[in-house]
Amino acid sequence: MLLAIDVGNTNVVLGLFAGAALERRWRLATLPDRTADELWVLVSRLLAEHEVDPARIDGVVMSSVVPALTRAVSDMIGRGLGHDVLRVDAGNAGLPVGYDNPAEVGADRLVNGVAAVRMYGGAERPIVVVDFGTATTFDVISAGGEYRGGVICPGIEISADALYQRAAQLPRVEVRKPAAVIGRSTVASMQSGLFYGYVAMVEGIVQRLRAEIEGGDGLLCIGTGGLAGDIAAETSLIDHVEPDLTLAGLRFVWERIREGGVG
């Protein structure tokens, strides 16, 4: 079994693979001050509740964009499972990186790219991955399988919080699709602006990426992250939704390195 861990700004997502099958998925709140001991209490409890013998876990792979938690998670795995953690970065992801400084690319964006190429790259067409996380990111993979760069925007929850915090008379609202585009209350108007504003943003950016990248007429768009399914239902520009794209990418990186592949 393989334990894949994605340490994000909002959540720590753990996926337990048996071969290629994702058997279990858990989500913990990202709290940068958590210690290795606290993390092991949570993880060991999750394993016990689902009757997973820790001795069956053969390896651990991690992507992290939260430096304060990277060491704590690694220490937790070392103490609790007795494994070294394979931490994914630009040097070992196995994806050529065309960024000016490859070390700047978030590990989650790299493993998303790895998964996109493995799952959809056979047609030799460029790919854009839209990840609806704390930030909404657009990552472009060329038809030749090179990570070319992308776009980083505030996530939809960040935008909702900003409206609440910066406008005295606007309430905090749940981000979801409203009944109509024209809101007939303040809450409905805010929901419309947030939801349909992000639909329009996705469409606009994907169209501009299509115009800029070589072979853009055949661009394939993959959505992942929290609102991917809801946004994809409102636009024809997202071709596939893969909720577990990041975990799948971590597994692909692990398998390639285990089989002797070079970074």
pLDDT digits (tens, 9 = 90+) for 157-184: 889 888 888 887 888 888 889 999 999 9
| CATH number of the domain bearing residue 19 | 3.30.420.40
Catalytic residue of the set 53, 100, 108, 217: 108
- For 209-239, how does the pLDDT look when each residue is reduced to its tens digit (9 = 90+)? 999 998 989 999 999 998 999 999 999 999 9
pLDDT (0 to 100) of residue 142: 94
- For 10-44, how does the pLDDT look when each residue is reduced to its tens digit (9 = 90+)? 999 999 999 999 999 999 999 999 999 999 999 99
109 vs 134: CA distance, rounded Å = 13
Closest CA to 233 of 244, 245, 223: 223
- Pick the more confident residue, 135 or 122: 135
222 vs 240: CA distance, rounded Å = 5
- Domain count for the chain: 2
Q: In this structure, is residue 256 part of a structural domain?
A: no
Q: In this structure, is residue 257 part of a structural domain?
A: no
Q: Are residues 80 and 129 in the same domain?
A: no
Q: Are residues 71 and 132 in the same domain?
A: no
User: Given a cut of 50, is residue 4 above it in pLDDT?
Assistant: yes
φ and ψ at residue 238, rounded to 5 degrees: -95, 115
Which amino acid, one-letter code, is at 163?
L
Residues of the domain holding 217:
121-246
Q: Are residues 150 and 78 in the same domain?
A: no
Which residues are CB-neighbours of 197 under 8 A, at least 6 positions away? 159
Q: Are residues 52 and 131 in the same domain?
A: no
For residues 98-102, average pLDDT: 92
Domain boundary among 62, 87, 112: 87
pLDDT (0 to 100) of residue 108: 95
Q: In this structure, is residue 72 part of a structural domain?
A: yes
* CB neighbourhood size of 34 (10 A): 19
Residue 82 falls in which region: left (phi positive, over 0), alpha (psi -120 to 50) or beta: left
Q: Are residues 142 and 242 in the same domain?
A: yes
Q: Are residues 140 and 235 in the same domain?
A: yes
User: Given a cut of 80, is residue 123 above it in pLDDT?
Assistant: no
Q: Are residues 126 and 239 in the same domain?
A: yes
Q: Are residues 79 and 166 in the same domain?
A: no
User: Given a cut of 50, is residue 263 above it in pLDDT?
Assistant: no
For residues 76-94, average pLDDT: 94
Model pTM above 0.85: yes
For residues 123-140, average pLDDT: 93
108 is catalytic: yes
Q: Are residues 165 and 78 in the same domain?
A: no
Q: Helix or strand or coil: residue 40?
A: helix
Percent of the chain with pLDDT over 70: 99
User: Given a cut of 60, is residue 87 above it in pLDDT?
Assistant: yes
